Structure 1
Amino acid sequence: MRSRAAILHDVGGPWSVEDIELDPPRAGEVLVEMAAAGLCHSDDHILRGDMSVSNEVAREFGLTPMFPLIGGHEGSGVVLEVGDGVTDFAAGDHVVMSFVAVCGRCRWCASGMEYLCDYGAQTMAPGMPADQTFRHHTANGTPLGHLAKVGAFANHTVVSVNSLVKIDPHLPLVPSALLSCAIPTGYGSAAHRANVRGGDTVVVIGAGGIGTAAIQGARINGAAQIVAVDPVEFKRKAALGFGATHSVASTEEAADLVRDLTYGVMADSVVVAPSLITGDDVHAALQLTRKGGTCVLTGMSAQTTRSVKIALQDFILWNKNLVGTVFGSCNPRSDIARLARLYQSGQLQLDEMITKRYRLDDINDAYADLLNGEIIRGVIDFGLD
């Protein structure tokens, strides 16, 4: 079938919105008509080479080129068609994508850690996960990868059943797209990885989509004091509407504030969620973390960042925890439904996080707004086309 998608042809971009050809879903696969796709910094990191290499460099080092590819890993839609053997989904089902595919059979899934699934670890490899062949093609027949095995920046996409989670058909599809990445990644960073408890003091560095979800995770789980850190005034003000009790422009300001709030104890946990983490960010975040506290690295780093600055004796002797997380250490098949219930109950704010909706053709303008700090979360709303 013919559809349209936003494609990256190599590092540097820009996004190119073009007609594409889609093959029917094969065994274990599903054709989805997209309703909405969230605009995440991770897609821009692919464009800029923070999480990718150009085709020229890939060939030089004997790697499989990843371009051209359809972007987008956060999305929601409606099932149009299922492939052979698919019994868990049917035409008409409402679904959200999970950029971490879940097999349900590997050691990690069996241990309750779906976010570390061996199957999901193939997320950046080209082709379909089952056989590495392609269902997506340019109009002239060139095979197209689809980011995170999702390819949400398309009117239609073919994905593995392992990358889909069925949701209540009464849930509005556009805000539900945020349940695909931003919400579990941010919420889980606070609730699961930092283990925020009632009365805690929490610092969230970066108040974009994921940081805002972390603020909400801290609020819902009972944090008494939540400090949002962001250089953009608009985001600092917005953070107060999602549960932050204080907001400051820098980690230096945060250090003074948290020291005063806690009588010198410092924060129980710190979630680090800027657009790109640097080594200096880690040092500053650990300085904000109390003895025995937890610092969670949620944002992505550039491939070239190989070391971080840590006051090592302070880190060791004060028994601090420095941890990473993927997908907020959430399990897609159970936690997406849990987060949806929080939304339905009014505790989790999704609609309020969506600053602006865009047409697919406006994706380059949308990313310019994101990079200029003008939105908390933008979405491609396919109903606007």
Structure 2
Amino acid sequence: MNNKSASPKAGKVIRCKAAICRIPGKPLVIEEIEVEPPKAWEIRIKILCTSLCHSDVTFWKSSTDLPKLPLPVIFGHEAVGVVESVGEYVEEVKERDLVLPIFHRDCGECRDCKSSKSNTCSKFGRGYRPNMPRDGTSRFRELKGDVIHHFLNISSFTEYSVVDITHVVKITPHIPLGIACLLSCGVSTGVGAAWKVAGVEVGSTVAIFGLGAVGLAVAEGARLNRASKIIGVDINPEKFEIGDKGNDRWGSRLLLRVHWLNVRNE
């Protein structure tokens, strides 16, 4: 990918379609919206592929123990996209670069971002923020001008989104898009759990309870760290097939026995 010419839409408002949540728990509505140009330290991305994370569903249901979401909001945070335009001071990426938006910001400057023990940026504060991290405003508008809010600093259920440069990573264009979009949350969470939290070592025996996307990523992280035995436990009998495929692929490195747990409501 190169940057022979600037995007014809650079510096202009873009009209595109997005899936908007207006009422918690109710179906998302596909509507035409306006996406503003990126401000300083921001980039505008054309979303090429996005997936659904369980966190999206959890916030969509609007559980009482979660931060209250301002509505309307555009969900989605597992995605991959191409840079359409960049704001002032952005040097890390350029137009047409393939990028991975990530909801955990990384300023690269604060003590926490430089530490090997933490990945929670302290420069921009902690906790949930509904819009852009630097000025707290939104880049999304309804056609009539009303604000639409961001979600986890990403909002990927839209054709175009604006993210802060601290929330994006440039990646190689050779990764299939359907796989790349999983790296920003589910896969990195599972692999990171094996590498950073559990500290799986060579020869370790690892037990994983729950073999969803994150659990399978934990298995992959444990395999990459050369665990000698990986045991998966799940209540879904269909996961036996996944275990069999894992054994075929990884041989004696992986013992993925999926146990059926009989769960009763007492």
Give the TM bin, normalised by the shorter chain.
0.7 to 0.9
Which of 62, 66, 74 aligns to 1:49? It is 62
Cα RMSD over matched residues? 2.0
CA distance in 2, matches of 1:128, 1:186: 27
Tell me which protein shows more helix as a share of its residues. 1
CA distance in 1, matches of 2:140, 2:126: 18
1:103 deviates by: 1.3
Which amino acid in structure 1 is aligned with residue 239 of structure 2? Answer: K
Unaligned runs of 5+ in 1: 59-64, 253-385
1:15 has 2:15 as partner: no
Equivalent position SS for 1:212: helix
* CA deviation string 1:176-221 (max 9, x = no partner): 1111011110011112211112222211111111111011111221
CA contact (8 A) 2:237 2:258 kept: no
Q: TM-score, normalised by structure 1?
A: 0.59
* CA deviation string 1:115-153 (max 9, x = no partner): 211256556212211101110122332212221100011
Q: Alignment length, in residue pairs?
A: 242
For 1:324-339, list aligned pairs within 5 A: none
Equivalent position SS for 2:238: helix
CA distance in 2, matches of 1:251, 1:147: 37
Corresponding position of 1:40: 53
* CA deviation string 1:227-272 (max 9, x = no partner): 21222222342144344521112399xxxxxxxxxxxxxxxxxxxx
CA distance in 2, matches of 1:123, 1:90: 29
For 1:1-385, list aligned pairs within 5 A: 1-50=14-63, 52=66, 65-113=69-117, 115-119=119-123, 122=126, 124-242=128-246, 243-250=254-261
CA contact (8 A) 1:212 1:239 kept: no
CA distance in 2, matches of 1:19, 1:179: 28
Equivalent position SS for 2:222: helix
Unaligned runs of 5+ in 2: 1-13, 247-253
Q: TM-score, normalised by structure 2?
A: 0.84
Report sequence identity in percent: 34
- Judged with a 3 Å threshold, the aligned counterparts in structure 2 of structure 1 residues 179 and 123 are, in CA distance, closer, same or farther, namely farther
CA contact (8 A) 2:239 2:258 kept: no
- Judged with a 3 Å threshold, the aligned counterparts in structure 2 of structure 1 residues 239 and 3 are, in CA distance, closer, same or farther, namely farther
